[in-house]
Amino acid sequence: MNSRPVFVGVDIGASRTKVAVLDSAKRLIGHAVSKSGNDFGAAAENGLAVSLAMANASREEIFASISTGYGRRNVSFATAEKTEISCHGKGCFHEFPFEISIIDIGGQDNKIIKLDGEGRRTGFKMNRKCAAGTGAFLEEMSIRLDIPLEKMDGLARQSRNMIELGSFCTVFSATEVLEKIRQGKKVPDIVKGLFLSVIKRILEMDSLTENIVMTGGVVAHNPFLVTMAEERIGRKLLVPDHPQLTGAIGAALYALEAGKAACIKQEV
């Protein structure tokens, strides 16, 4: 292995743990996504091992590491912590360095983050109290429909007569879905309706600026959601190269900045 500093970001969500490794030029050289499970510390360690192997780096080459997300306090190797809002903003602005509104669709919550042209946060909304519009909502509906979660994007694309659902609530939507099945409605049409429910729920959270970025694991695995959101909003949306990793990348960028600051302090 070549000895050179690397910078690590760890984003532990309630559903998935994401790890990103950057080199000193801010290039993503290693990454991993895995289930968070019931041991966040172990998930972080496993993700780190996979990411370092991809980066062809060792733990000794980690100059700084920052954790974020729901389980950020469970990362033993992190040198500091940052909020997930800050890290998601940092990761998105790195790829889209202008005024943006970020829509992040996670497993347990949704976020809308607004940044100005300098990357400063100007607004923020989060949906925490209800699973509607989140990955958990789609997971529950996949169980109700008895179809694999990974098949939902493809099914939604097949729809020719979307069934628009009347309720956003996960519990009531489940009842409504079962009624649609009893009526003989086609599964692709129901799934597309579920996707629309996610989009409508998010768009009700806050107003959006001209440039909109969509991120999150739900977006990464269901890109048709972006297409549907574009049709609903009426303009092209932006999606990062790694939409599920934006929080981890943002944390790694903060780690890089902290590393550079430490170097300057040592030189002084």
Average confidence (pLDDT) over 22-44? 96
pLDDT number for residue 3: 67
pTM: 0.91
Looking at the fold, whether 83 and 54 belong to one and the same domain comes out as yes
Looking at the fold, whether 187 and 254 belong to one and the same domain comes out as no
C-alpha distances (whole Å) from 226 to each of 101, 131, 144, 196 are 14, 20, 24, 11
Model confidence pLDDT, tens digit, residues 75-102: 999 999 999 999 999 999 999 999 999 9
pLDDT number for residue 170: 60
Say if 136 falls within a structural domain. Answer: yes
Looking at the fold, whether 144 and 249 belong to one and the same domain comes out as no
CB atoms within 10 A of CB 119: 16
Task: Kindly tell me if the per-residue pLDDT of 268 is higher than 50.
Answer: no
| CATH code, domain with 79 | 3.30.420.40
Looking at the fold, whether 213 and 132 belong to one and the same domain comes out as yes
CB 28 within 8 A of CB 268: no
Model confidence pLDDT, tens digit, residues 149-194: 899 999 999 999 998 887 656 666 777 888 888 898 999 999 999 9
Say if 1 falls within a structural domain. Answer: no
C-alpha distances (whole Å) from 197 to each of 28, 141, 168 are 34, 12, 6
Helix, strand, or coil here: 218? Answer: helix
Looking at the fold, whether 252 and 179 belong to one and the same domain comes out as no
**CA–CA dist 251, 47 (Å, integer):** 15
Range of the domain at 16: 6-87+244-267
Say if 92 falls within a structural domain. Answer: no
Looking at the fold, whether 47 and 71 belong to one and the same domain comes out as yes
Looking at the fold, whether 218 and 184 belong to one and the same domain comes out as yes
pLDDT number for residue 1: 44
Model confidence pLDDT, tens digit, residues 205-263: 899 999 999 999 999 999 999 999 999 999 999 999 999 999 999 999 999 999 876 65
Say if 56 falls within a structural domain. Answer: yes
Looking at the fold, whether 118 and 235 belong to one and the same domain comes out as yes
Number of domains the chain contains: 2
Q: What does DSSP say about strands 110-115 and 100-105: parallel, antiparallel, or unpaired? A: antiparallel
